[in-house]
């Protein structure tokens, strides 16, 4: 009978991993042997280990810790890697740089939890257990969406959020930059978007429909330089920042800045102070389309992401049905009526993005209503993922009852204020399979993966963000990278992983 080799307690769980007897010692004498093209991975390893360990990890032609790009591992794809830790040497290899970046996060998790700390631990030797790991993700999209439109967060915290995503081998940071309650992305041609749209007078205290307010002004906007630096910071960690600019609904902040873009050009609007769905939406005249194209041109300059998210959800058509101009536009375009302008609008913007070499991405309300060249992000019902895949869309499963982190984590009355509608606990997140059971092979291939969502109506601080995000994001990361894993196995690995979160000072849910 072959000997059983225990697996390391890693999150997410590697595709294949076994611990071996012994350990490799990292100390001041440890050097790195770096192949051509692997230099950014070596830089990241030094950057991440330096605060706690102080190790120089200098390059050397005969270094004991080897980072190498190996085209023979092409079968592991863009993010796969192989890691061998022996008593006298460490070999981390991958076909692509991104794979090396993923392997570095595994090295971090194999070290004692204190190695993740952002303060010096005053140790001179760090023991890395001997192991043999071959790893590749199940899904190509493993994302996290953070809403900074409703409550702005400084870019310094966004960098920390990126680091936490990278630790869990997430690869997409979906940044929700605009909504009814705030516009956070600067656009040189339209300075009022942040000058006016970046400020609101107060915020609703209760859920949508309540009539109490906090009386506290809220404001915030990023500079172009800050966003460009964030994109580069994330790329150094193998993460793509996916921007979201909402249209044609969820645009009250833009209309407060430029009311001529609405359906009643002379109407004065404020940046919305309420939660829920606002019925003021973009008009459908040419000036609006020119505005959206101009905004997205600047977005594409800042964000090289192949996907550009344009929202698209929860767009009331009330104003269009009452507008003579909208009815005339619908008739001129041969549409059945003003209600059909939603798909027409998205189609025009989607065509623009495609012509610029990008993939339009939007929230799918049913799975079948988006133009065919869109990637669909389904959120209302798991069945919509299958519907979108059958229609031919690439799909990202973001089912709200399994991925929305603004729902409470438990029924405990001591939980902070959350979105009404129930509980999304750790087990619900871990149990959600983005692949529909009924999907055939072709349909399953169109399901890119999954991601968490954190809407911030009631979330104002970084500490609150992390309380809601962790450990639920750990569960989604595990499912997205590893596929289905046994619940008891995940719980056992998570127990160890919580020590890492503590070392990072993550203020997680108990």
pLDDT tens digit string along 23-78? 999 999 999 999 999 999 999 999 999 999 999 999 999 999 999 999 999 999 99
Query: With contact defined as beta carbons under 8 Å apart, do 248 and 320 qualify?
Result: no
Cβ burial, residue 175 (10 Å; 0-12/13-18/19+): buried
Point out which residues pair with 27 in neighbouring strands.
125
pLDDT tens digit string along 190-200? 999 999 999 99
484 lies in a domain? Answer: yes
7 lies in a domain? Answer: no
Picking from 135, 165, 187, the residue at the C-terminal end of a domain is 135
Please tell me whether residues 230 and 250 are part of one structural domain.
yes
Report how far residue 488's alpha carbon sits from residue 424's, in angstroms, rounded to the nearest whole number.
Answer: 19
Number of domains present in the structure of the chain: 2
Picking from 114, 135, 156, the residue at the C-terminal end of a domain is 135
Point out which residues pair with 420 in neighbouring strands.
none
Query: With contact defined as beta carbons under 8 Å apart, do 197 and 182 qualify?
Result: yes
How would you write the pLDDT of the chain (510 residues) with one tens digit per residue? 445 569 999 999 999 999 999 999 999 999 999 999 999 999 999 999 999 999 999 999 999 999 999 999 999 999 999 999 999 999 999 999 999 999 999 999 999 999 999 999 989 999 999 999 999 999 999 999 999 999 999 999 999 999 999 999 999 999 999 999 999 999 999 999 999 999 999 999 999 999 999 999 999 999 999 999 999 999 999 999 999 999 999 999 999 999 999 999 889 999 999 999 999 999 999 999 999 999 999 999 999 999 999 999 999 999 999 999 999 999 999 999 999 999 999 999 999 999 999 999 999 999 999 999 999 999 999 999 999 999 999 999 999 999 999 999 999 999 999 999 999 999 999 999 999 999 999 999 999 999 999 999 999 999 999 999 999 999 999 999 999 999 999 999 999 999 999 999 999 998
| Helical H segments across 237-381, by residue range | 252-257, 286-302, 318-322, 324-332, 341-355
Query: With contact defined as beta carbons under 8 Å apart, do 363 and 311 qualify?
Result: yes
Residue 94 is part of a domain; what is its CATH number? 3.30.379.10
323 lies in a domain? Answer: yes
Confidence at residue 91, expressed as pLDDT on a 0 to 100 scale: 98
Confidence at residue 163, expressed as pLDDT on a 0 to 100 scale: 98
Peptide bond before 105: cis, by omega within 30 degrees of 0?
A: no
Confidence at residue 200, expressed as pLDDT on a 0 to 100 scale: 98
Confidence at residue 1, expressed as pLDDT on a 0 to 100 scale: 42
Report how far residue 390's alpha carbon sits from residue 491's, in angstroms, rounded to the nearest whole number.
Answer: 35
SS (H, E, C) 98-153: HHHHHHHHHHHHHCCHHHHCCCCCCCCEEEEEEEEEEECCCCCEEEEEEECCCCCC
Picking from 107, 135, 163, the residue at the C-terminal end of a domain is 135
Residue 184 structure tokens = 């956070």
1 lies in a domain? Answer: no
| Helical H segments across 392-461, by residue range | 400-403, 426-431, 441-445
Nearest to 134 by CA among 7, 18, 15: 15
In percent, the amount of the chain with pLDDT more than 90 equals 97
Other C-beta atoms lying within 10 Å of the C-beta of residue 484: 12
Range of 264's domain? 141-503
Please tell me whether residues 371 and 241 are part of one structural domain.
yes
Distances (CA, A) of 307 to 133, 224, 354, 358, 375: 31, 19, 10, 6, 8
Confidence at residue 266, expressed as pLDDT on a 0 to 100 scale: 84
């Amino acid at each position: 009978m072959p000997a059983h080799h225990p697996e390391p307690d890693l999150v997410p769980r590697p595709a294949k991993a076994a611990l071996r007897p012994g350990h490799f010692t990292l100390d001041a004498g440890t050097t790195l042997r770096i192949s051509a093209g692997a230099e950014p991975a070596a830089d990241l390893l030094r950057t991440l280990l330096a605060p706690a360990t102080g190790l120089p990890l200098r390059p050397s032609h005969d270094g004991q810790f080897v980072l190498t790009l190996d085209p023979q591992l092409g079968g592991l794809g863009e993010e796969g890697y192989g890691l061998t830790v022996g008593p006298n040497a460490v070999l981390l290899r991958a076909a692509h740089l991104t794979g090396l970046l993923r392997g570095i996060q595994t090295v971090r998790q194999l070290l004692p939890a204190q190695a993740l700390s952002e303060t010096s631990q005053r140790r001179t030797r760090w023991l890395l257990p001997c192991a043999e790991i071959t790893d590749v993700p199940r899904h190509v999209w493993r994302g996290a969406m953070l809403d900074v439109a409703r409550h702005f967060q400084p870019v310094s915290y966004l960098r920390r959020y990126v680091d936490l995503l990278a630790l869990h081998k997430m690869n997409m940071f979906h940044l929700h930059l605009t909504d009814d309650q705030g516009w956070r992305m600067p656009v040189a041609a339209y300075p009022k978007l942040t000058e006016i749209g970046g400020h609101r007078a107060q915020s609703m205290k209760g859920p949508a429909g309540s009539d109490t307010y906090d009386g506290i002004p809220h404001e915030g906007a990023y500079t172009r330089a800050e966003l460009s630096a964030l994109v580069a910071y994330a790329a150094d960690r193998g993460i793509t920042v996916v921007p979201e600019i909402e249209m044609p609904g969820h645009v009250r902040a833009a209309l407060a800045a430029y009311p001529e873009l609405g359906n009643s050009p002379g109407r004065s609007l404020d940046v919305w102070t309420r939660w829920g769905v606002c019925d003021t939406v973009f008009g459908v005249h040419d000036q609006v389309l020119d505005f959206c194209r101009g905004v997205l041109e600047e977005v594409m300059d800042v964000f090289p992401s192949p996907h550009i998210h344009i929202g698209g959800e929860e767009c009331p058509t009330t104003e269009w049905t009452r507008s003579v101009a909208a009815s005339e536009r619908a008739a001129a375009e041969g549409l059945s009526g003003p209600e059909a302008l939603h798909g027409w609008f998205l189609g025009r913007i989607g065509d623009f993005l495609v012509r610029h070499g990008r993939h339009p991405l939007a929230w799918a309300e049913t799975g079948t209503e988006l133009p065919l060249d869109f990637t669909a992000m389904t959120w209302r019902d798991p069945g919509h993922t299958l519907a979108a895949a059958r229609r031919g869309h690439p799909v990202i499963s973001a089912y709200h009852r399994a991925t929305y982190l603004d729902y409470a984590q438990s029924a405990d009355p001591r939980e902070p204020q959350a979105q009404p509608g129930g509980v999304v606990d750790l087990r619900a997140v871990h149990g959600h399979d983005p692949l529909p059971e009924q999907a055939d092979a072709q349909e399953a291939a169109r399901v890119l993966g999954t991601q968490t969502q954190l809407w911030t109506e009631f979330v104002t601080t970084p500490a609150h963000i992390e309380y809601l995000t962790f450990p639920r994001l750990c569960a989604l990361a595990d499912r997205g990278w590893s596929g289905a894993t046994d619940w008891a196995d995940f719980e056992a690995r998570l127990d160890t992983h919580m020590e890492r979160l503590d070392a990072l000072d993550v203020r997680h849910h108990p």
